[in-house]
Amino acid sequence: MAEYIVEKTKENLVYSKTPVLTDNVMHYCPGCSHGTIHKLIAEVIEEMGVQDKAIGVSPVGCSVFAYNYLNIDWIQAAHGRAAAVATAAHRLYPDKLVFTYQGDGDLAAIGTAESIHVCNRGESIAVFYINNAIYGMTGGQMAPTTLLGMKTATCPYGRDPQLHGYPYKVADFVCQLPGVCYVTRQSVHTPANVRKAKKAIRKAFENALAGKGLSFVEFVATCNSGWKMTPVQANKWMEENMLPAYPLGDIKNE
């Protein structure tokens, strides 16, 4: 019987991992949206040829080790302060592509002030905002984005608006600010949504390099471990509960 040896080359592979992604094994839970979003950001950076120009800023949260996975310059910020650090990086190196990668507990809670003011100033950076409606890294506590009635470690009977207030829809707020040129809400739970999310990432990067102002890309994401669900159950729950509250699509595009 004849033997055939197929050489592995980039041309004959169904998928070839972008060199912008390192070979480090990601620490995220199986089914987590972070890994997919990391891959998309890395692919866009490679396709745009800006690996040597990119500066990522990640604070505390599940993405705290993002610098392990993307082979670009990274700055580690204190909890909630990514937008302030990104402002400094962009003003010191205006020719660089600067972006933040933040969770909802970080951007919409401890970092609300920094986040709102960087949007209002219209810094030409990209902000990637992961909204999974929970504090994923620290034990599943209620986040500013937790849905009404949703149970977490700190609201075990469900979020009560009279006690806890209402979910904070950051994208709907920042689109009112004149310094923000692009606001969109995407997800990565289906192949079609992955393609749309990748286009949004590229547009945000292009806007930043063109000096158009701040681009704000929200990703409605799952946290199956924090939600106490399987990955399949988490995707279904997100479709039935998260997406009606946080509808996908462009909100502002100038």
More confident position, 1 or 119:
119
Q: Please say if the pLDDT value at position 10 is more than 80.
A: no
Q: What are phi and psi of 123, to 5 degrees?
A: -60, 140
What would the two tokens of residue 224 be?
A: 């199956």
Structure confidence at residue 136 (pLDDT): 80
Q: What tokens does 123 get?
A: 């810094």
Q: What is the pLDDT of residue 183?
A: 98
Per-residue model confidence as pLDDT tens digits over 95-112: 999 999 999 989 999 999
pLDDT for residue 201: 98
Provide the residue ranges of all domains of the chain, joining segments of one domain with +: 27-134+141-253
> Residue 80's CB: how many other CB atoms inside 10 A?
22
pLDDT at 9 over 80: no
Looking at every residue in the chain, the average pLDDT score rounds to 93
**How large a percentage of the chain has pLDDT more than 90?**
83
> What is the Cα–Cα distance from 166 to 160, expressed in whole angstroms?
8
Measure the CA–CA gap between 249 and 252, rounded to whole angstroms.
9
How confident is the model at residue 73, as a pLDDT? 97
CA distance 118 to 82: 10
Rounded-to-integer distance, Cα 51 and Cα 42, Å: 9
Collapse the DSSP code of 66 into the 3-class scheme (helix H, G, I; strand E, B; otherwise coil) and give the result. Answer: helix
Neighbouring residues of 41: CB distance < 8 A, sequence distance ≥ 6: 70, 99, 101, 128, 201
Q: Look-up: residue for tokens 């692009």?
A: 182
Rounded to whole angstroms, the Cα distance separating 209 from 106 reads 25
pLDDT tens sequence across 35-72: 999 999 999 999 999 999 999 999 988 888 899 999 99
pLDDT-derived band at 254, boundaries 50, 70, 90: confident
Q: At a CB cut-off of 8 Å and minimum separation 6, what does 116 contact?
A: 173, 174, 177
Q: Tens digit of pLDDT for each residue in 135-173?
A: 887 777 889 999 999 999 889 999 999 999 999 999 999
Residue 126 has pLDDT above 80, yes or no: yes
- Is 27-134+141-253 CATH 3.40.50.970? yes
Q: Name the pTM for this structure.
A: 0.93
